Amino acid sequence: MKKYNFSAGPAILPAPVLKEAAKAVKDFDGMGLSILEISHRSKQFVAVLDEAVASVKELLDLNDDWAVLWLTGGASSQFFMTAMNLLPQGEKAAYVNTGTWSTKAIKEAKLFGEVEEIASSKDQNFNYIPKYKSPKDAVYLHLTSNNTIFGTQIKKFPNDAPPIVCDMSSDIFSRPLEIEKFGLIYAGAQKNLGPAGTTLVIVRKDLLGKVERQIPTMLDYKTHIAKDSSFNTPPCYPIYVSMLTLRWIKKNGGLEAMQRKNKSKAKLIYDEIDRNPLFEGFTAKKDRSLMNATFNMAEGHADKADAFVAACNAAGCVGIKGHRSVGGFRASIYNAMPRNGVKALVEVMQEFEKKHG
């Protein structure tokens, strides 16, 4: 049976990428060696790293003012690395709190300087994106572009903000960006880019070197810029698979094409959530994520939740259960999710209505 992976992460990868990555595990580039065992200093892997960096720059239209880094530690390590590297003692950073990940980022940033939480949607369990005005005296504005747990997404980034530091772990490369608004973007690969194990960091180089604190060598962005992400052994295989994914995005029309497809898939699932009397969304419609559609059983039908999950699994739609902190259901429809996968889930919902409605 064909299975569609709706998990929030580690998440679905494009089928051609998986096929090529599997071949490389046995024999990479005709070397007679696995990609898992070649030297990170070899010309073959350096070529992989160079292509990965070049593809990021091409897709996001980055010039030489930007550095592209492939690090480890997940997006969670960037919660403190961003503040450690960018926030001078005695100065202030502004944060918008839209859920679990931004809450954690705020906690970590407070270790290094003043943090002003300028807006929050905690009052309604983070089911919307709050309005905010960026303070002029902030060194940077931190945003989380997409919230996997609650299913909200920032649709437009502010024009009048200081440089934006943005956690884009779950919607990186899903749409074009006005890159001039940003100072640093970070993303754990395992949601919309590659397998777990590497973290993409894109940083404007002129923002670095302004803090007086001593930064441990491995936590200093300048260390990794100077050594082209190879100060220590980088996560070679996750970078390779991410490179293949970037190649796939370019082959399939780039970020504009990804955005069109993602909007189409999201409309398909949200239209069914709104139409079907057995289900209801719990996110403000204007802030609904194109990556993670969150919903629940409608009032009076809560007892059918387990039966619905079972029906999804039986139809090959796996990973549909919501995050443990909010419950309900979550359909993660990242770039690699084909429209047929979303269609299959919608058909399960329709059949479930016929049986239980």
Residues 89-110: tens digit of each pLDDT: 999 999 999 999 999 999 999 9
Q: What are the angstrom distances between the C-alpha of 279 and each of 64, 113, 150, 276, 334?
A: 49, 44, 16, 6, 22
- CATH class of domain segment(s) 4-12+254-356: alpha beta
Provide mean pLDDT across the span 218-233: 98
* Domain range annotation of the chain: 4-12+254-356, 15-251
The residues, any chain, with a CB within 8 Å of residue 264's CB and separated by 6 or more, are 339
Q: Is the pLDDT of residue 2 over 90?
A: no
221 and 66 Cβ atoms separated by less than 8 Å: no
Give the residue numbers marked as catalytic: 101, 167, 191
Identify the architecture of domain 15-251 in CATH. 3-Layer(aba) Sandwich (3.40)
pLDDT digits (tens, 9 = 90+) for 76-94: 999 999 999 999 999 999 9
Concatenated DSSP letters of 229-265: T-SS---HHHHHHHHHHHHHHHHTTHHHHHHHHHHHH
Angle at which helices 15-26 and 236-251 cross, to 10°: 140
User: Tokens at residue 179, please?
Assistant: 């890159």
pLDDT confidence bin for 162, thresholds 50/70/90: very high
DSSP 8-state class, residue 323: P
Strand 199-204 versus strand 292-297 pairing type? unpaired
> CB within 8 A of 43, min separation 6: which ones?
none
pLDDT of the residue at 357: 80
Sequence letter at residue 300: G
pLDDT at position 4 over 90: yes
Q: Are β-strands 4-5 and 317-318 bridged in parallel, bridged antiparallel, or unpaired?
A: parallel
What is the reported pLDDT for 118? 98
Is the full-model pTM beyond 0.95?
Answer: yes
Residue 51, classed as helix, strand or coil, is helix
Question: What pLDDT score was predicted for residue 134?
Answer: 87
